[in-house]
């Protein structure tokens, strides 16, 4: 999969690509990330990429000319792949959106800065807008990295465990179950015996119920959108007990 990232500060992104899973994906030919400095596509000697907004107001606005020139110089006109603007005004990013975007072989990510970008970029160049949450950052570089990281995990062959991404939180609509590793006992705290039993059916059942329990406690809103089996529903019903009862988790 290929990403083309357009930014005023591409050097912010590069270090993250040089470690761990993303680095291995690049080395193994599963991922390409091309960084483009929007400033290098300006035509004036000062490389100006922003200006004051028409109508007044605080802040500066990214100019349309350098953005259009950058994207079209790299991707053609019209662009040869979806162009995603990272903005608080976009649709909310979820694991399901990541899976949707992972089906594309090529994506372009446009990182905003300052007060925003000229509206003509949204209207005539951008094909999608993504928000990583209801808060505002200084620029789109961190959101771009979030998209690259989360989408790359879904590319076949990137993770060592071929089913690893399927167990992640939100992949199934639920939060992920708890994990344990050696030692089996630490400071008197024991790993749940079922995980030491070797009974894979019971382990799978325990993990599913733990995922349901954790989601019920922390993000009950997710349960309304998740496909549940009859056994899932029975387990969730068992959690709704009188105050003096303790919810079961097995």
Q: How far apart are CA 60 and CA 115, in angstroms?
A: 5
Q: Which DSSP string corresponds to 163-228?
A: THHHHSTTTSSSPPPP---S-SEETTEEPPGGGGS--HHHHHHHHHHHHHHHHHHH-HHHHTTS--
Catalytic residue list contains 176: no
Q: Looking at 72, 128, 168, 202, which residue is catalytic? A: 168
Instruction: Please state whether the peptide bond connecting residue 241 to the residue before it is cis, i.e. omega within 30 degrees of 0.
Output: no
Phi first, then psi, for residue 195 (nearest 5°) are: -75, -15
Q: Looking at 115, 129, 149, 202, which residue is catalytic? A: 115
Catalytic residue list contains 88: yes
Cβ within 8 Å of residue 31, ≥6 positions away? 1, 2, 3, 22, 25, 152, 155, 158
Q: Looking at 50, 88, 113, 141, which residue is catalytic? A: 88
Phi first, then psi, for residue 223 (nearest 5°) are: -65, -25
* Residue 136 among known ligand-binding residues: yes
* Residue 137 among known ligand-binding residues: yes
Catalytic residue list contains 153: yes
Catalytic residue list contains 51: no
* Residue 132 among known ligand-binding residues: yes
Residues flagged as binding site? 112, 132-137
Residues flagged as binding site for S-adenosyl-L-methionine? 112, 132-137
Query: Which residues are identified as catalytic?
Result: 88, 115, 153, 168
């Amino acid at each position: 999969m290929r990403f083309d990232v357009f930014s005023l500060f591409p050097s912010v992104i590069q270090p993250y690509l040089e470690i761990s899973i993303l680095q291995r994906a690049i080395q193994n030919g599963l991922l390409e990330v091309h960084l483009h400095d929007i400033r290098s596509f300006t035509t004036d000697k000062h490389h100006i990429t922003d200006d004051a907004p028409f109508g007044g107001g605080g802040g500066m606005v990214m100019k349309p000319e350098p953005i259009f020139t950058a994207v079209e110089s790299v991707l053609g006109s019209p662009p040869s792949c979806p162009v995603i603007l990272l903005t608080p005004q976009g649709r909310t990013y979820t694991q399901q959106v990541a899976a949707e975007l992972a089906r594309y072989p090529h994506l372009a990510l446009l990182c905003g800065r300052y007060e925003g970008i000229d509206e003509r970029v949204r209207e005539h160049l951008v094909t999608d807008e993504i928000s990583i949450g209801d808060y505002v950052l200084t620029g789109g570089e961190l959101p771009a990295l979030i998209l690259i990281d989360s989408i790359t995990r879904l590319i076949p062959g990137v993770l060592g465990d071929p089913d690893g991404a399927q167990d992640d939180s939100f992949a199934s609509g639920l939060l992920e179950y708890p994990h344990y590793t050696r030692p089996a006992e630490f400071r008197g705290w024991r790993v749940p015996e079922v995980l030491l039993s070797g009974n894979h059916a019971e382990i799978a059942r325990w993990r599913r119920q733990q995922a349901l329990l954790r989601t019920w406690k922390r993000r009950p809103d997710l349960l309304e959108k998740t496909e549940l089996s009859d056994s899932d529903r029975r387990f969730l019903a068992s959690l709704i007990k009188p105050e003096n009862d303790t919810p079961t988790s097995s």
